[in-house]
């Protein structure tokens, strides 16, 4: 059954001075009716969403979005952790337009290549840490992690170690939503809807101090204990059967969980000791989020593979990639046919946009600014603003990413019994206050575009404070 546009009653949109000239051809009511009639949203309860109606975003500039009613909203999430250079950068649009005219598509399967993918690979090799000189392309972070699995298995098979098959991941990690990405991730609610998971993937506990530390452990002791679960798991399975460990340097979707400094060095030690590949999923952490180009540099470890997406193109077009450390690349290059690829691997338009995006990040010193200026300002402002707040238990983060833990009793690290509901209440207050701040359970997340200035940071923190105060008030806590 199709829903005909003519049947939708036309409602004159409210005209507001702040609305920029957008190509808005329909009223909000009309958009909502059509969206409800024909569009299934990701990670959504469609029945509930269709009853309440989606917010229609029609235009964006810098760190601001405008909806179809003309409301101006500050984007504390950079879209979905991806719009690192901010909205409305003409350089990226020009790169796409020029490339579409010159060579909109050609494949890289059959002994062919093209300038954009060559330029992008060379540029990534320049920007990534020294041992990362080779890149394989795909269209998303999920496909990146599927590709990681393919590379890991080929790496061991090419060396005659076929028994090394098991990949160890973490509960509450996020690695995408293909079947492999969803299995690698540790989100129980996703696993429940996946009766056929990918084999040979197991999970250990996450380094989530506020939520899971028992007794008097310090954050450093707790993180070390969580890292040592990897060693225990390897010994249980047998090192000859373990191929790799994968983790996000800091968990993004899982709540911006930053492990203490003891965690990653111990993970790296264990991986080296048992000859296990170490994979850093840099889909959120990559391209400046923490103030370093890659989040593993922030935590001071050296992975064997890195998964890239999101900030690679600042989300202007889809693209993902996997970076291979020289020691992995060598084996893959000399390992014969690698039977993996996607029609759009190294897509010329995506590659051209990625090059333009990375040049902006580099030449405008955006990453350096996050490290030395806006990042420290953002972190301090959050910590000063929420020190001793009655429902904020912890602030995690570095650079321009932060997690705010909502808690019943911050001092006692006591969480709300209905934490997810509290997060939703707070998120709705943010939304109504024209701030996009995401809730993961009882943690509020911020990850604004990296081009944000201090005034805009002040605006985000002021609006977040207002929403969190309103949440506390609604709960009767002050
Ligand atoms: C978003 C994300 C992915 C999945 O990327 P998609 O482009 O949505 O497939 C994978 N890993 C991490 C860490 C992510 O945040």
In order of their start, the domains of the chain are: 28-84+366-474 (3.90.1150.10), 90-363 (3.40.640.10)
**CA–centroid distance, residue 109 to ligand 1 (Å):** 25
Determine whether the shortest distance from the Cβ of 263 to ligand 1 is under 6 A: no
Residue pLDDT tens, the chain, 478 long: 333 333 344 344 444 444 455 567 899 999 999 999 999 999 999 999 999 999 999 999 999 999 999 999 999 999 999 999 999 999 999 999 999 999 999 999 999 999 999 999 999 999 999 999 999 999 999 999 999 999 999 999 999 999 999 999 999 999 999 999 999 999 999 999 999 999 999 999 999 999 999 999 999 999 999 999 999 999 999 999 999 999 999 999 999 999 999 999 999 999 999 999 999 999 999 999 999 999 999 999 999 999 999 999 999 999 999 999 999 999 999 999 999 999 999 999 999 999 999 999 999 999 999 999 999 999 999 999 999 999 999 999 999 999 999 999 999 999 999 999 999 999 999 999 999 999 999 999 999 999 999 999 999 999 999 999 999 999 999 7
Q: Find out whether the beta carbon of 174 lies less than 6 Å from any atom of ligand 1.
A: yes
Determine whether 437 is exposed, middle or buried from the number of CB atoms within 10 Å of its CB (0-12, 13-18, 19+): buried
| pLDDT for res 472 | 97
Task: Provide the token pair at 3.
Answer: 């829903």
Phi, psi of 128 (to 5 degrees): -80, 160
| Residue 108, CA distances (Å) to 67, 100, 114, 144, 323 in order | 39, 17, 8, 17, 17
- Characterise 466 by phi-psi region: left (phi > 0), alpha (psi -120 to 50), beta (else): alpha
What is the value of pTM for the model shown? 0.95
The Cα 128–Cα 187 span in angstroms is: 29
Determine whether the shortest distance from the Cβ of 319 to ligand 1 is under 6 A: no
Report the chain's terminal Cα–Cα distance, integer Å.
52
Instruction: List, in sequence order, every residue forming a beta bridge with 201; answer none if it has no partner.
Output: 167
* Closest CA to ligand 1's atom 5: 141
List all residues 6 or more positions away from 192 whose beta carbon is below 8 Å from its beta carbon. none
408's CB contacts (< 8 A; 6+ apart) are 391, 414, 415, 416, 417, 477
State the Cα torsion 376-380-383-384 to the nearest 10°. -170
Question: 257 alpha carbon to ligand 1 midpoint, in Å?
Answer: 16
Contact 233, 270 (CB under 8 A): no
Q: What is the pLDDT of residue 478?
A: 79
φ and ψ at residue 257, rounded to 5 degrees: -95, 115
Taking CA atoms, 357 is separated from 114, 317, 339, 351, in Å, by 18, 11, 30, 10
Which whole-number Å values give the CA distances from 68 to 30, 55, 135, in the listed order? 11, 8, 40
* DSSP per-residue letters across 35-94: HHHH-PPTT--HHHHHHH-PPPEEEEEBTEEEETT--EEEETTHHHHT-TT-B--HHHHH
Q: Distance (Å, rounded) from C-alpha 449 to C-alpha 250?
A: 18
Residue 227 makes CB contacts below 8 A (sequence gap 6+) with: 207, 262, 263, 264, 266, 267, 270
Atom of ligand 1 nearest to the CA of 176: 4
Q: Is 140 in the pocket of ligand 1 (CB under 6 A)?
A: yes
The number of helices, as runs of H, and strands, as runs of E, in the chain is: 18, 15
Contacts 24+ apart (CB under 8 A), 94-99: 94/356, 95/352, 95/353, 95/355, 95/356, 96/316, 96/317, 96/349, 96/352, 96/353, 98/352, 99/348, 99/349, 99/351, 99/352, 99/353
Distances (CA, A) of 67 to 89, 212, 436: 19, 39, 12
Measured CA to CA, the distance from residue 59 to residue 251 in angstroms comes to 29
Query: Which residues neighbour 165 within 8 Å (Cβ) at sequence distance 6 or greater?
Result: 153, 156, 200, 241, 243
Q: Ligand 1 centroid to 256 CA: how many Å? A: 14
Ligand 1: centre distance to CA 54 (Å) = 23
Say what the pLDDT of residue 21 is.
57
Distance (angstroms) between ligand 1 centre and the Cα of 240 equals 29
Decide whether any atom of ligand 1 lies within 6 Å of the 19 Cβ: no
Instruction: Check if 283 has its Cβ closer than 6 Å to any atom of ligand 1.
Output: yes
Q: Is 78 left (phi over 0), alpha (psi -120 to 50) or beta?
A: left
Ligand 1 within 6 A of CB of 175: yes
Answer whether 142 contacts ligand 1 (Cβ < 6 A): yes
Region of residue 86 (phi > 0: left; psi between -120 and 50: alpha; otherwise: beta): left
Kindly give the number of the ligand 1 atom that is closest to the alpha carbon of 173. 13
Q: Whose CA is nearest to atom 14 of ligand 1?
A: 283
Q: How many CB atoms lie within 10 A of CB 125?
A: 14
Neighbours of 5 (CB within 10 A): 12
Is the minimum distance from the CB of 141 to ligand 1 under 6 angstroms? yes
Q: Is the CB of 180 under 6 A from ligand 1?
A: no
Residue from 246, 284, 344, 403 to probe ligand 1 pocket by mutation (most atoms less than 8 Å from CB): 284
Q: Which of 41, 140, 141 to mutate to test the pocket of ligand 1 (most atoms within 8 A of CB)?
A: 141
Closest CA to 249 of 277, 219, 207: 207
């Amino acid at each position: 059954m199709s829903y005909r546009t003519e049947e939708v009653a036309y409602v004159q949109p409210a005209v507001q001075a702040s609305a920029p000239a957008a190509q808005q051809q329909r009223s909000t009511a009309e958009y909502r009716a059509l969206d409800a009639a024909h569009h299934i949203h990701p990670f959504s309860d469609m029945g509930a969403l269709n009853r309440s109606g989606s917010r229609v975003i029609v235009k964006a500039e810098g760190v601001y979005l405008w909806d179809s009613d003309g409301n101006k909203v500050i984007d504390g999430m950079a879209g979905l952790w991806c719009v690192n250079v901010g909205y409305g950068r003409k350089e990226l649009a020009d790169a796409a337009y020029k490339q579409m005219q010159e060579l909109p598509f050609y494949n890289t399967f059959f002994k062919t290549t093209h300038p954009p993918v060559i330029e992008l690979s060379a540029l990534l090799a320049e920007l990534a840490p020294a041992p990362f000189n080779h890149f394989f392309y795909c269209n998303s972070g999920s496909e990146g992690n599927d590709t990681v699995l393919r590379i890991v298995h080929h790496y061991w098979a090419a060396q005659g170690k076929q028994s090394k098959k098991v990949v160890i991941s973490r509960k509450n990690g996020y690695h995408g939503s293909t079947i492999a990405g969803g299995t690698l991730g540790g989100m129980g609610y996703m696993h429940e809807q996946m009766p056929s998971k990918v084999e040979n993937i197991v999970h250990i506990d996450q380094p989530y101090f506020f939520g899971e530390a028992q007794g008097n452990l310090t954050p450093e002791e707790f993180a070390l204990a969580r890292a040592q679960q990897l060693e225990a798991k390897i010994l249980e399975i047998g090192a000859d059967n373990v191929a790799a460990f994968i983790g996000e340097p800091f968990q993004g979707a899982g709540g911006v969980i930053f492990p203490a400094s003891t965690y990653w060095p111990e993970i790296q030690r264990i991986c080296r000791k048992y000859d296990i590949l170490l994979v850093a999923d840099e889909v959120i952490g990559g391209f400046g989020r923490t103030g370093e180009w890659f989040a593993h540099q922030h935590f001071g470890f050296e992975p064997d593979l890195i998964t890239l997406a999101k900030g690679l193109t600042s989300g202007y077009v889809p693209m993902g990639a996997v970076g291979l450390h020289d020691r992995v690349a060598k084996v893959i290059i000399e390992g014969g046919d690698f039977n993996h690829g996607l029609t759009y691997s190294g897509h010329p338009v995506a590659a051209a946009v990625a090059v333009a995006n990375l040049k902006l990040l580099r030449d405008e010193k955006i990453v350096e600014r996050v490290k030395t200026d806006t990042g420290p300002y953002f972190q301090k402002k959050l910590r000063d603003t929420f020190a001793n707040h009655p429902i904020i238990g912890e602030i995690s983060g570095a650079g321009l990413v932060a997690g705010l833990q909502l808690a019943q009793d911050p001092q006692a690290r006591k969480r709300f019994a209905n934490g997810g509901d509290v997060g939703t209440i707070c998120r709705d207050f943010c939304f109504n206050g024209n701030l996009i701040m995401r809730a993961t359970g009882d943690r509020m997340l911020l990850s604004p575009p990296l081009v944000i200035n201090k005034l805009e940071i002040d605006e985000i923190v002021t609006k977040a404070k207002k929403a969190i105060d309103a949440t506390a008030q609604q709960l009767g806590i002050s």
